[in-house]
Amino acid sequence: MSNKLTCTISFDDSLVPNVIGAFGNKMDKEKYLVDKNSAQRVLSPDGDYIHISEFAGITKGSRVYIKSDIPSLIDFVDKRK
């Protein structure tokens, strides 16, 4: 049995700007996630820019951003096994 503490936070789309803001991000004028300090678009593990409509979450590690499409979610789950 693992002693790791895990937490899942769920939120509706109206709170996405608040959630990404808490992690030092915002949306650009085209609604892609960007770093607040550098204004650079953030990348998914596949190297894709993440549109706000594709945002699924942020995992620990050097801010790993997850897209909401099925292949990205499957890859995320597989890597956590």
User: CA nearest 32: which of 45, 46, 44, 15?
Assistant: 44
The pLDDT of residue 33 is 94
Rounded CA separation 3/61 (Å): 19
The one-digit pLDDT tens for each residue of the chain (81 residues) are 555 656 666 778 888 888 888 888 999 999 999 999 899 999 988 899 999 998 888 776 667 788 888 888 888 888 776
State pTM to two decimals.
0.67
- Whole-Å CA distances, 71 to 11, 23, 46, 57, 66: 22, 24, 10, 15, 10
Name the residue ranges covered by the structural domains of the chain: 13-76
pLDDT at 47: 92
Q: What angle do CA 13, 65, 30 make, to 5 degrees?
A: 60
Q: How far does Cα 59 stand from its chain's mean position?
A: 7
